[in-house]
Amino acid sequence: MSRNHQLARLQLAIMQVLWDRGEATVAEVRDALEDDRPLAYTTVATMLTKMERNGQVAHRTEGRVHVYRPALHRERVSQSMVADLAGRLFDGNVTEMVSHLLDGCDVSTEELARLKTLIRQKEREVKDDD
């Protein structure tokens, strides 16, 4: 991955709204976050401005209102943040990280089957690269 995309808690919450909706105004983002955390309009507007400066979001203007959209893909951010977590918390040991996830969460039979499928796919990719 060429770029490390780390987001703070509020930034991630804002990105989740934008990823889910595709685009939103400051008021719409604020309203979407209202149940989780009441925020001032100016707080959300300031954060979106900072995020735009950092290349995380972009906007178009509709009348006097900015309509924001994500400039980062959800998958890239997820991969980057998980890789960072694995590196910092588990010293890059993926097996240890997955073991902690399996021990710390309720995992259904369907989820285990999906994990096995993903492991087999990864094994094939690694073999093909050798």
Residues 44 and 73 in one domain: yes
Domain limits for position 55: 1-92
Q: pLDDT tens, 18-50? A: 999 999 999 999 999 998 889 999 999 999 999
Q: Are residues 130 and 116 in the same domain?
A: yes
Q: What is the total count of domains within the chain?
A: 2
Rounded CA-CA distance 48/76 in Å is: 19
Task: Find out whether 44 and 26 touch, Cβ atoms under 8 Å.
Answer: yes
Following CA atoms 77, 82, 85, 91 in sequence, which dihedral angle do they give, to the nearest 10 degrees?
-130
Same domain, 49 and 101: no
**pLDDT for the residue numbered 62:** 96
Token duo for residue 15: 């990105």
Given this model, what pLDDT does residue 57 score?
A: 98
Q: Which residues of the chain have pLDDT under 70?
A: 1-4
26 contacts 59 by C-beta, under 8 angstroms = no
What pLDDT score does 1 carry?
38
For residue 130, the model assigns a pLDDT of 75
Q: Long-range contacts: 83-91, Cβ < 8 Å, 24+? A: 83/1, 84/4, 84/6
87 and 99 share a domain? no
Query: Same domain for 81 and 102?
Result: no
CATH number of the domain at 21, please.
1.10.10.10
**Reported pTM:** 0.79
Extract the tokens encoding 124: 């094939």
Alpha helices per DSSP H over the chain: 9-21, 26-33, 41-53, 74-90, 94-104, 109-129
As a residue count, the chain comes to 130
Provide the pLDDT for residue 37: 85
Same domain, 43 and 103: no
CA–CA distance, 124 with 66 (Å, rounded to integer): 46
Take residue 14 and report the two structure tokens written for it: 């804002």
**Tokens 């934008």, located at residue:** 18
